[in-house]
């Protein structure tokens, strides 16, 4: 099947609330915006508490435009980043032709030595464990602008099928690719000195640890979250009385996942000698949007693949969480995975992550 060929869907059994049914929590409901018709330059609203329907934005039903204008989208909804557009974006720092060629946009996945090192089974397991230990969850996200840049065609070349990406990916797919690229950049001598690379990685480590500590504190201070985490089994946790608790806890882990990905993106940009703290417009390249509705029209052509990836990633993720906890609990498989979810955030994964944070606290 070619990248441009639409996939069959599985009908209405995929996750989420249809976009046109999302209700605003403002006094006067806002009309649902056509995200494809939004000019990203005009969408600048104050941030507030994270919600699935609006991300960190103030208005429900009017999600943050998911991509920078470096990104283009085809009629079949696939996206790619065009490096040639960089020079047209006056707000972005000027990069010389020589500098642009040394950047990891597009990342050289086709070089065998690099590919072999980054896809070594032991390294992949190490990165997968890092993702599990970071308390992020496998969930659907709009394909990040930075991810599209890293997967784009080299400047001056026409994009191939490999450079065109689905508009939505799994967070864990993105994070593992980011960690592979971050590892490559940490040993790449062409962009930064060894001392600067060490400084950037240390700063990134502090950001990651701070995010995890903040998440832990929020979970432990919420009596209902703790009660849910102390359930003896996932079946007990899935009782109707915990439905709203799951929703709020899933939203919390989704918020953490988004913010953690952004911290990784900041580290990658800094390893490229592009610091969003020093050049604020670079922040527009970072992931920030509402959680995509899995039943939205733009996602339907990809839902079969996404559903398969979602089950695979969550089964492996939940399986590893059981193993890391060293508890005599059943190991999940794709067939045995409890697929109950809140807007693509798996409840079994949320419950196990909460248990990891709560189990060490005395009753």
Roughly what angle, to the nearest 10 degrees, separates helices 194-220 and 171-187?
A: 150
Residue-level pLDDT at 261: 94
Residue-level pLDDT at 18: 36
Residue-level pLDDT at 4: 39
Residue-level pLDDT at 22: 36
Segment-wise mean pLDDT, segments of 10 residues, the chain, 363 residues: 36 35 36 50 60 74 70 89 87 81 78 81 85 90 93 81 90 93 84 84 88 90 94 93 96 93 93 90 86 78 86 88 70 82 93 87 50
Residue-level pLDDT at 39: 56
Residue with tokens 């999940």: 332
Q: Is the C-alpha dihedral spanning 67, 72, 77, 78 positive or negative? A: negative
Residue 52: which residues within 8 A CB-CB, separation 6 or more?
Answer: 251, 254, 290, 291, 342, 343
Round to whole Å and give the CA distance between 247 and 243. Answer: 6
Find the angle CA(308)-CA(110)-CA(200) to the nearest 5 degrees.
85
Residue-level pLDDT at 96: 77
pTM of the model: 0.83
Round to whole Å and give the CA distance between 55 and 330. Answer: 34
Round to whole Å and give the CA distance between 92 and 320. Answer: 40
Cβ–Cβ < 8 Å for 303, 10: yes
Residue 254: which residues within 8 A CB-CB, separation 6 or more?
Answer: 50, 52, 137, 139, 291, 343, 345
């Amino acid at each position: 099947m070619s990248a441009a060929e639409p996939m069959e869907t599985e009908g209405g059994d995929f996750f989420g609330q249809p976009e046109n049914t999302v209700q605003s929590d403002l006094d006067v409901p806002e009309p649902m915006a056509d995200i494809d018709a939004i000019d990203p330059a005009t969408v600048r609203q104050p941030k507030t508490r994270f919600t699935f329907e609006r991300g960190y934005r103030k208005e429900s039903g009017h999600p943050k435009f998911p991509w920078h204008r470096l990104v283009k989208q085809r009629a079949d909804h696939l996206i790619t980043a065009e490096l040639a557009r960089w020079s047209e974006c006056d707000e972005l720092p000027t990069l010389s032709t020589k500098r642009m060629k040394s950047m990891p946009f597009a990342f050289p996945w086709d070089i065998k030595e690099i590919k072999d090192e980054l896809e070594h089974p032991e390294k992949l397991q190490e990165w997968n464990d890092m993702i599990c230990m970071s308390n992020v969850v496998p969930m659907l996200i709009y394909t990040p602008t930075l991810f599209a840049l890293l997967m784009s065609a080299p400047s001056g070349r026409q994009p191939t099928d490999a450079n065109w990406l689905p508009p939505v990916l799994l967070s864990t797919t993105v994070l593992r690719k980011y960690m592979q690229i971050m590892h490559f950049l940490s040993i790449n001598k062409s962009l930064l000195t060894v001392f600067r690379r060490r400084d950037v990685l240390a700063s990134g480590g502090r950001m990651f640890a701070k995010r995890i500590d903040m998440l832990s504190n929020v979970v432990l201070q919420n009596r209902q979250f703790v009660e849910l985490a102390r359930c003896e089994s996932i079946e007990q946790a899935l009782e109707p009385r915990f439905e709203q608790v799951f929703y709020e806890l899933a939203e919390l882990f989704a918020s953490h996942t988004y913010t953690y990905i952004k911290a990784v993106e900041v580290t990658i940009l800094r390893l490229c000698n592009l610091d969003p703290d020093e050049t604020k417009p670079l922040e527009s390249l970072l992931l920030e949007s509402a959680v995509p509705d899995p039943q939205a029209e733009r996602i339907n052509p990809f839902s079969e693949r996404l559903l398969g990836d979602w089950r695979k990633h969550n089964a492996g993720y939940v399986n590893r969480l059981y193993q890391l906890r060293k508890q005599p609990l059943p190991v999940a498989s794709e067939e045995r995975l409890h697929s109950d979810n809140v807007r693509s955030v798996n409840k079994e994964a949320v419950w196990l992550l909460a248990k990891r944070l709560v189990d060490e606290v005395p009753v």
